[in-house]
Structure formats: structure tokens, C-alpha cells
Amino acid sequence: MAGVIVLLAGAALTGQGQTPAAPQGPEAPNFKLQVDYVEVDAYVTDQQGQFVRDLKKEDFQVFEDRQPQTITAFTLVDIPIDRATRPLFAAQPIEPDVKTNAQAFDGRIYILVLDDAHVQFQHTPAVKAAARRFIEQDLGANDLMAVVHVQGKAENSQEFTSSKRLLLAAVDRFFGKAERPAALERSQFGGGGGRRQGQALGDPTEQKRAFDARATIEELQAVADWFGGVRGRKKTVLLVSEGIDYDVDDVFNRNQASMLLDETRDLIRSATRAGVTIYAIDPRGLTDQGDQSIELSGSRGLRSLQNDLRVQQDSLRTFAEETGGFAVLNTNSFADAFDRIVRENSSYYVLAYYPPNPQRDGKFHNIQVRVNRPGVTVRARRGYANASGKAVAAAPNPASKITTEARDALQSPLPVSGLTMSVFAAPFKGTAPNASVLLGVEMRGQDLRLDGGDKIQITYFALDAKGKYRGSNSDTVTLNLRPETKAAIQRSGMRTLSRLQIPPGRYQLRVAVNDLATSAVGSVLYDLDVPDFTKTPLVMSGLVLASGAASKLPTVRPDEELRPVLPAPPMGSRIFPVGDQLALFVEIYDNAGGSSHKIDIAATVTSDEGNVMFKTEDVRDSSELQGKSGGYGYSSRVPLDGLTPGLYVLKVEARSRLGQGPTASREVQFRIVEPASPELK
């Protein structure tokens, strides 16, 4: 469906300056999906263990199967560890309600694999403590992480996000489900760990152990295969596990050892082919297995238990060392290991070369990296495997009108820079069972060609917690512009507004914009929680803002539902010039309408130091609902006159006078700058 540009002056609001435009970020890494060259991440340290940063391409030699290779691409990756900006008065950063790709992704990228199939239930707290420690203390604001539960429900996992709140929630959904140690089963049912007829004597759970081993190996292989689509960046898997509880090397005494050994090799081949590094973390720490050895009697039983521990930890070493990582074993302090993981993922060299034997024959090729400098140590992956079989061609979809550029951007686990855009979303109560989510996309005019008839394709979908697609749409906007509108877009950018009808739940919105004239494309990943507006006593919609400065932004199809309650279209800018004026709107849903009561509503602006700089209050009465559950629309004006440049927090809070006084609130962090500030350019 074609859109029409509507230029709204926003005369009801006063303000100065232009709509803030995001600054240009550094050049984005090249994340190609085609595997047409070999990438090697090289971590080089001196004799003190410090990373060596001054090496050149000429200092490196790469050998494949002992033959020297020509390094065709070389770069030093040196990633800073960013910390989220938080108001001084707040204990934790306030999650941004607007996401942008203005700055190219420059962080680390991790997948945290929680191996519930190989963690004893009683060790669940240790897993959560280790994972939470890494997320809370070692994950930078510029990093992305996904969480995968090996055998948990799909909704227990978490797509790539920078939100520590969502990552910690995914960790908290973990619990271990491993079988008891095999030595205990053998002791109870077989008496001593002997063998018979191809299986461990007396272990009735051996088939289940083989099933669990296969589940973990296959999940890791699937992660490695999928992760291989990211190029130009180190790809890291953090595997939290007690190790495979099945001796894959004991092919004579265990029925499925040979098959599992082959699958382990396939995993290593997939990981090395994709350039994925696995760091294996045993959450048990330093243990003498005393809580389990008390169930055994005699030295033979204890040796059997120790052998099981060796088998488990050997599997973790294999996963890690064969992919260029390391295993964290026998330690009660993960701080040093986690610091080392972050260092190795923050500073390294990326070397690329075209393989001399690119056939799809499945063969493994050894890699060796050398540095022409004495006294240094190089860590890199040991090799890679060629793909095997015929390449799978993507099936054409003639019914789809989505461009290849947009499709690739939407499939990428990382936001794509190129066409700068910002995305905001606000859920409101809709027609049951769905909510109505306002989606706003703002684009920078400098990135658009804006010639007569230029077309822009805007594509989005919501991915729910189970990985299902919801509320997808692709819209083409034709820019037949009057000269004054074209000038306004070039100066300030443009905005589109639309609505998604999706049920309550946790989503990741994926939004891509493609200028069809230039093929420029950008994408943003947006984490969205849609509340059930009917279940809790008091719940608030999303908070939308308008301002005098942002009202100058041309808007495609203004939202008709918000037009009566806002003097200008809602906007995504969170940087305002001194003297601007904000307008806000929320809906408050009161599900206790049958009882007479009042709702107190307050909107405040708090400075970075915690001083309340502005406050307005209102009272609503349940009689407005006529005995039914429903919503109160609340709007207010927030003048920024007299506020000096700096960081502020706008908060809207509603409190019921009924019962225990349930509350609902929304917070938005914003910044005030001088009208001539580069942040407004």
C-alpha cells in the first residue's frame, strides 16, 4: 500500500531548533552471509600476558595444511566496554524506549547456552549465579547476547538483546534436569561399574544419558551453524554445563558411543567452519563430589565417580580447545575466567584468506598462525571443515515483495547500519485478545535520495517468545514531494506510524527500511513487552511523547487514534533543545471499576541529581467507567523552560486508592541540550 507524506507544523506546541538527528557512526563491519573466504581470529599476547596491539598484516603468516596462504583482509578489532548511562539518582539504568542504528554495532556478541540436560538439579543455583555474574558485571551496554536452554521450552530462551533485564529473566527460567551420576546408578543396580553386553553394568539410565548427550551436541551444532552467518566479528558461545555424561571414547562397551563420537566431530567441524569459539564453564567449581561420594562405599566406587567426572570435564575441554576457547574447570571464582573471556573478545586480529580447496567435500583443513615477532604467543582456531553435499538454494517466493536487502537485514542477528533509523513502540489495549501497538519509524533525510517518485520499503514483524512470526507487514511509500516538503525531509528526516495487532507477550520487533532507488538499507531490533491489560488491577499503556521541535518532522499517515489527544504526531527523539515543550499521553486501565474509588496520577521530571524539577497531578474517579473495567486517557504538557542542559527522567505514575493501592508507571530518560548542539544536527 502506498503512503502519502503529510507535513504537520505542530502549531499547538512551541519550541526551538530542529528534530534531533542521530550522529553518523563508524563504518559498519561487513557481515556477509556467503562463506567465500576463511576468517581466523588471532589473539596475540606478550610474555606478560598482555594483548599486543601494534602488529601489522606483514607480521602474520597463515598456513593451511602447512602451505602458506595470502592474507587478503586484515583488521585489528579493539572493542571498548561501554556502560549504560544512568541517572545519578537511579540504582539501575533506565531501559531506552527508543532503539536506533545510528551507530554501527561495535560490541561483542555472545550466545549463552544453558545445558539443563547436563546440570544436576541441586546445582541450579550455581548456574544462575555464574550466568548472572557475567551478565551483570561483564556484559557491556554495546554487547548483544542470546540465551538458549538446551531442553527447556522455546519461550524460556531469549533472542539477541542488550537488555540485561530480559537476559536475567531468561537465566532465572533455568533449572537442571540431569540424571544422577552414572557411578551412583551402577553402585545401586550393578554393584561396581563392570561392563556387560555393550553397556555399563547396572545403569538403567544409559539410554537416557545418550539421548541427553545427543540433545546437547545437536543444539551446539545448530547454534554454530546459525551463528556462522555473522562475519567480521568474533562469535562466542558460553556453554554452562557439567559436561557430557557419556564416554564417547568407550566404543566397545557403550552402544551409542561411536555415533555420539561422530556427532561430536560434526559439532567441532561446524563450529570451526563457522569460526565459532566455545568457552565451557563448569558451574560446580572446585569439588571433591563429597555430596555424592557418601552414597558410595569402597575405593572402586569412588574411582568410578572420579572417572565419570573426568569424562564430563574432558568433553568440556574438547568443545573449548578444539574451537579456540578454553574450559573453566575446578574453580569457585569465575571472575578471572570471565575477565579473560571478555579480553579475548574485545581485542584481537581478524585475518582472512581465500581457501585453496573450496570444494564441498567435507574435508578438514588445519590452520596455523605465526607472528614474526619473538616472545609472543598466538591463540587461534586449529582449522576448519569444508561444507559437504550440495548447496541448498533458497526457494523463490514470487508472492513476496520484500527486497533481498530487506530480507537479509531482517534475518541478521545484528542491527544493520547504512540507512539511519530510530524505532519506538507503545502498546495500548486493543480488541481482545489482541493489544494495539503503535510502531513509529523515523529516518534521516540525508540517507534518502528523495528524487521524484523515489520509493521506500518499510518491513517489520514481531517475533514472539516461541519464535513465531506475528503482525508482519511490508509497506512501500512513494515520495512524490513538494519542494518545501523535500527540503523539510532533507533537513529533519521523516516519520512513519503504523499499528500492530498482537496478543500479550514478549516480542522482538524487527524493522527494516530499504530505499529502493539506492538499495540503502537499515534495520533495528526492538524488545517489546505487551502487558495483558485485563489481568492486573492497574496497568498502564506505553507512554508516547510529542514536542515542538519534533513536530517539524514530516509524517506518513499520522495515527488517527492519537490525533485527538496529542497536538502533534508522537516522536522517537529523546534529545530536546532548551525551551522546548513536551506533550505526553498514556492510558491507565482500571480493572476494579465495580468498586467506587479514585486514581491519583502524577507526571514528574527529575534531574540527574534526583531533584524534582516539574510535577503535575490529576485525580480520576471510577464513576467515569460506569461500573466496568476500562481506561482513563491521561495527557499533559511538560514545559522545558528553565531546565538547564543535562539528563532528566520523565515519569508518569498512577496509584489506586482501593485496597493496597496498586500502582502502574512508565519512565523515559531524555536529555536537554543547547539549540546549537551537534546532537540536534
The answer to whether 116 and 150 are in contact (CB under 8 A) is: yes
**pLDDT of the residue at 593:** 67
The rounded distance, in Å, linking the Cα atoms of 326 and 332 is 16
- Residue 32: inside a domain: no
Cα–Cα nearest to 525, from 436, 425, 434 = 425
The rounded distance, in Å, linking the Cα atoms of 99 and 242 is 37
**pLDDT of the residue at 297:** 53
Cα–Cα nearest to 471, from 522, 526, 541, 413 = 526
Q: Which residues pair with 362 in a beta bridge?
A: none
Structure-derived torsion over alpha carbons of residues 323, 324, 326, 327, reported in degrees to the nearest 10: 0
Question: What distances in angstroms separate CA 30 from CA 104, 326, 387, 612, one per listed residue?
Answer: 11, 27, 22, 46
Domain that holds residue 429: 5-23+402-680
The rounded distance, in Å, linking the Cα atoms of 318 and 278 is 10
**Same domain, residue pair 254 and 378:** no
The rounded distance, in Å, linking the Cα atoms of 114 and 146 is 11
The rounded distance, in Å, linking the Cα atoms of 437 and 423 is 13
At 429-479, the pLDDT tens digits run: 999 999 999 999 999 999 998 887 789 999 999 999 998 998 889 989 888
Q: What percent of the chain has pLDDT over 70?
A: 87
Under DSSP, the state recorded for 3 is: -
**pLDDT of the residue at 189:** 56
- Residue 300: inside a domain: yes
**Does residue 339 surpass a pLDDT of 90?**
yes
- Residue 259: inside a domain: yes
Sequence length of the chain is 681
* Domain total of the chain: 3
Q: In one letter, which amino acid is 660?
A: Q
**pLDDT of the residue at 346:** 94
pLDDT (average), residues 483-502:
91
**Same domain, residue pair 503 and 612:** yes
Positions of E strands within 127-166: 144-149, 158-161
Residues 148-186, buried b or exposed e (16+ Cβ, 10 A)?
bbbbbeeebbbbbbbebebbbebbebbbbbbbebbbbbb
**pLDDT of the residue at 14:** 36
Q: Which residues pair with 421 in a beta bridge?
A: 443
**Does residue 162 surpass a pLDDT of 50?**
yes
**Same domain, residue pair 313 and 376:** no
Q: Is 80 exposed, middle or buried (0-12, 13-18, 19+ CB in 10 A)?
A: exposed
Helical residues (DSSP H) of 452-508, grouped into ranges: 483-492
**Does residue 486 surpass a pLDDT of 70?**
yes
State the cell numbers at 40: 581466523
Enumerate residues 6+ apart whose C-beta is below 8 A from 474.
Answer: 401, 402, 406, 457, 458, 459, 460
**Does residue 24 surpass a pLDDT of 60?**
no
Question: What distances in angstroms separate CA 142 from CA 85, 516, 622, one per listed residue?
Answer: 11, 30, 45
Cα–Cα nearest to 281, from 230, 335, 245 = 335
**Does residue 90 surpass a pLDDT of 90?**
no
State the cell numbers at 115: 545445558
**Same domain, residue pair 567 and 658:** yes
Q: What is the CATH number of the domain that holds 558?
A: 2.60.40.3880
**Same domain, residue pair 335 and 377:** no
| Residue found by looking up cell 573471556 in the block | 341
Q: Identify the residue with better confidence: 296 or 678.
A: 678
Residue 174 backbone class (left: φ over 0; alpha: ψ -120 to 50; beta: rest): beta
- Residue 33: inside a domain: no
pLDDT (average), residues 207-213:
92
- Residue 95: inside a domain: no
- Residue 327: inside a domain: yes
**Does residue 308 surpass a pLDDT of 70?**
yes
State the cell numbers at 387: 561444507
pTM summary value: 0.86
**pLDDT of the residue at 254:** 74
Phi, psi for residue 230 in degrees, rounded to 5:
-90, 125
pLDDT (average), residues 82-91:
82
**pLDDT of the residue at 313:** 94
- Residue 250: inside a domain: yes
Cα–Cα nearest to 546, from 619, 495, 597, 493 = 495
Q: Identify the residue with better confidence: 19 or 178.
A: 178
pLDDT (average), residues 513-523:
94
Q: Identify the residue with better confidence: 640 or 400.
A: 640
Enumerate residues 6+ apart whose C-beta is below 8 A from 396.
Answer: none
**pLDDT of the residue at 7:** 33
**Same domain, residue pair 375 and 412:** no
Question: What distances in angstroms separate CA 451 from CA 418, 476, 518, 644, one per listed residue?
Answer: 19, 15, 11, 40
pLDDT (average), residues 514-518:
92
**Same domain, residue pair 430 and 370:** no
Band of the pLDDT at 192, cuts 50, 70, 90?
very low
**Does residue 64 surpass a pLDDT of 60?**
yes
Q: What percent of the chain has pLDDT over 90?
A: 60
Average pLDDT, the chain: 86
**pLDDT of the residue at 545:** 97
**Same domain, residue pair 314 and 204:** yes
Cα–Cα nearest to 232, from 141, 348, 323, 142 = 348
Under DSSP, the state recorded for 51 is: B
**pLDDT of the residue at 204:** 77
Enumerate residues 6+ apart whose C-beta is below 8 A from 539.
Answer: 531, 532, 533, 588, 589, 591, 664
Helical residues (DSSP H) of 469-508, grouped into ranges: 483-492
The answer to whether 117 and 150 are in contact (CB under 8 A) is: yes
| Residue found by looking up cell 515542538 in the block | 548
**Same domain, residue pair 413 and 299:** no
Q: Identify the residue with better confidence: 137 or 17.
A: 137
At 238-272, the pLDDT tens digits run: 999 999 998 888 776 677 888 999 999 999 988 98
Band of the pLDDT at 188, cuts 50, 70, 90?
low
Under DSSP, the state recorded for 27 is: P
**Same domain, residue pair 231 and 316:** yes
- Residue 428: inside a domain: yes
Specify the range with the lowest mean pLDDT, choosing from 70-84, 201-215, 521-535. Answer: 201-215
Q: Quote the crossing angle between the two packed helices 257-274 and 206-227, to the nearest 10°.
A: 10
Band of the pLDDT at 499, cuts 50, 70, 90?
very high
The angle subtended at Cα 19 by Cα 453 and Cα 484, nearest 5°, is 40
**Same domain, residue pair 13 and 62:** no
State the cell numbers at 25: 557512526
Q: What is the CATH number of the domain that holds 231?
A: 3.40.50
pLDDT (average), residues 100-125:
94
**pLDDT of the residue at 291:** 56
Percent of residues in the chain assigned helix, strand, coil, to nearest 5: 25, 35, 45
Q: Which helix (H) or strand (E) holds 68?
A: strand 67-69
Sign of CA dihedral 186, 188, 189, 192: positive
**Same domain, residue pair 341 and 372:** no
The rounded distance, in Å, linking the Cα atoms of 365 and 65 is 6
Distance of CA 289 to the CA centre of its chain: 36
